Amino acid sequence: MILEALPSSSAVAQAAADVFAQVVAAKPDAVVCLPTGATPEPLYAELVERIRGGRLDVSRVRWIQLDEWLGLPAGHPATCATWLEHRFFHSLTPAAGRRLDIASDPGCAQAEALRLASALKAWGGLDLAILGLGANGHLGLNEPAAALSREVHVEILSESSRRHGMLAGVATPPISGITLGMADLLQAHLVLLLVTGEGKRTVLDRLLTSPVTTALPASLLHLHANCRLLTDQAAGPARHP
């Protein structure tokens, strides 16, 4: 894991957008997984600006949603799909078959997970996994546990995840979700982990000092041959030379 400490979240967004542009320049039909939440939002704003300005061509990129809450109706403002639509996809129209969303209200959650797993396999796996760091060390919705699932699966949410800011307006937060699995993420050609803000200081410290353990899923990224961690000063990386 290569740590790059930058002065601000906007600097992280700029650097992450540069990495994204390099990946797409090398492979225009790259498979990219997209997270949601406050951390990647500045990155999406930067990508939208570059796309609209003609400085970035994403017409052949293949997109896959990292995770989704289960039990919310399609189009609900708290779903990850809606979040991505409003903050990123509204600026582009991926060709048919180049965008894999996860249904938040499938008739069968297991079948939806299998559909996504099959589609990702057909695409050849991830070229770029953009990830955020959960407050409890989760990646996507891969929660701390004695064992972690390899592929796309239904996951029971921790109490920490059920208190996620995206669910603040939901009267009864979901108890489960669908997420890409740890093997899906670790097999990506490049992992780009974004960690910003003072609220991530404690979990970032854990990540940088912890042994590799399923009790801290993000620690498995130490095993990845091409993982870049971009963080800002607010998260406190200066303590770790």
Which amino acid belongs to residue 85? E
CA 46 from centroid of its chain's CA atoms: 16
Contact 11, 232 (CB under 8 A): yes
CA-CA-CA-CA dihedral for 181, 28, 3, 12, to nearest 10: -100
Which amino acid belongs to residue 36? T
CA-to-CA distance for 54 and 80, rounded, in angstroms? Answer: 27
User: Is 138 an annotated catalytic residue?
Assistant: yes
User: Is 67 an annotated catalytic residue?
Assistant: yes
Six token digits for residue 169: 């307006």
Which amino acid belongs to residue 59? S
Contact 126, 31 (CB under 8 A): yes
First to last CA, the chain: 13
CA 100 from centroid of its chain's CA atoms: 14
Catalytic position from the list 68, 112, 127, 138: 138
CA-to-CA distance for 161 and 145, rounded, in angstroms? Answer: 14
Which amino acid belongs to residue 129? A
Task: Give 192's strand partners.
Answer: 130, 228
User: Is 143 an annotated catalytic residue?
Assistant: yes
CA-to-CA distance for 180 and 132, rounded, in angstroms? Answer: 13
CA-to-CA distance for 198 and 225, rounded, in angstroms? Answer: 28
Catalytic position from the list 4, 41, 76, 136: 136
Catalytic position from the list 67, 112, 184, 232: 67
Catalytic position from the list 68, 101, 143, 155: 143
Question: Annotated catalytic sites, by residue?
Answer: 67, 136, 138, 143
